[in-house]
Amino acid sequence: MKRLKQKESSTRSDTLTFVECLRSQPKHGQYIYRIFIELIHDLFVLLTAVIVMWVPVHWVWNARQETLAAIQAERDVMKWPREDIADRLKAAQDYNAMIAASGQNMIGEVQDPFKKNGGKEKTKSEEDETYQSVLSSPTGVMGSIRIPKVSIYLPIYHGTSEEVLDRGSGHLYGTSVPVGGKSTNTVLTGHRGLTEALLFTRLDELKKGDIIYITTLGHTIGYRVEDINVVEPDDTHLYKVVPGKDLLTLMTCTPYGVNTQRLVITAHRGKIPDNIPPLEDKANDAILYGILAATIVMVLGFILAMRKNYRELVPPPWHYDGTAIPKSLLLPRFVDERGLPPMGIVAHRKRARHQGSKRRRT
């Protein structure tokens, strides 16, 4: 008898009557207000996350489009007749010989390739029909540059106009075209620090000994970084041909966001596979794909968290018609120090459905 009384008393202390549940329920307007506040907070957090992640996601998207343009150009070349490829290569080599013999008194579209064109409708490279005919293609792509260490895979276009530098790497007018050979120095330029594209943004991560690949007319050439310099915009001595050497020079703006000087990276040609590994053996840097994966995980996690919060916030329909609701079925976040739920009751749905089905059977 004593045990039965103890059991009844413990059951009463562990439960809330239907009347207590009704008293603890807030008005309908309070639910709407709280849901509205939660919604505004969650939308603000989501908007902030989208703004923060928009730039890297945009980088990944544009990098993919630039890579696809380079890949498509390489595939188009593979369809050309061998005789056509040989003729184009011979024309490019003759052009480089002319550049080396000219003394290179005029380099670039204007004094600095990153300055505006002074209001001219056409740049110098666009007016030079001979230059435009060298390594020409229906897509306008001369070749492609790949730097696996920093996830650079860009098409190379003629000249350094604003239109060119917004969608890939530009070949500096007045320098050797990218087919290699003795007494050549191919200079490629690219923007750094754009909000819509990476391009040459990570070029400052390169160190001496890093590998750069150039693909032109279906042939890939490997270069190894040998020197890194910072020069003034009007200093062009590093862009000129060095007799007997096969060089590749990359140039972009620096410091990041200031752009008052030029970062110049010089690389010398190596033989594949003797001292430079084949292109397919070089692993790509995965930072861009890591950014994309992190963004997807963050958005999915945020959606799941919002879904859980709203399930806890809005109470389910009443499942108990006058019977007691165990306190153990209430979520702790809605129970105050007296054991009463100040902002509503959240019952365990499965338990409620199970008890309801038992009552119907009886």
Residues annotated as part of the active site: 191, 253
Using DSSP, state whether 120 is helix, strand or coil.
coil
* Separation in Å, CA 345 to CA 32, 100, 220, 328: 15, 84, 69, 11
The closest of 248, 252, 239 to 173, measured between CA atoms, is 239
Can you tell me the distance from the alpha carbon of 155 to that of 311, in angstroms, rounded to the nearest whole number?
50
DSSP character string of 226-284: EEEEEE-TT--GGGS--TT-EEEEEEEEESTTT--EEEEEEEEEE-TTTTS--GGGSPP
Round to whole Å and give the CA distance between 138 and 161.
18
Give the chain's radius of gyration (CA, Å): 34
DSSP letter at 304? H
What is the C-alpha to C-alpha distance for residues 291 and 59, in angstroms, rounded to an integer? 10
**Which one, of 131, 308, 108, lies nearest residue 189 by Cα?**
108
Angle (CA) 70-56-151 rounded to 5° is: 40
Cα(116)–Cα(109) distance, rounded to whole angstroms?
9
* H-assigned helices in the chain: 2-13, 18-24, 28-78, 82-102, 124-127, 129-133, 162-165, 287-313, 349-361
Among 203, 249, 192, which Cα is nearest to 226's? 249
Which H or E element spans position 156? Answer: strand 152-158
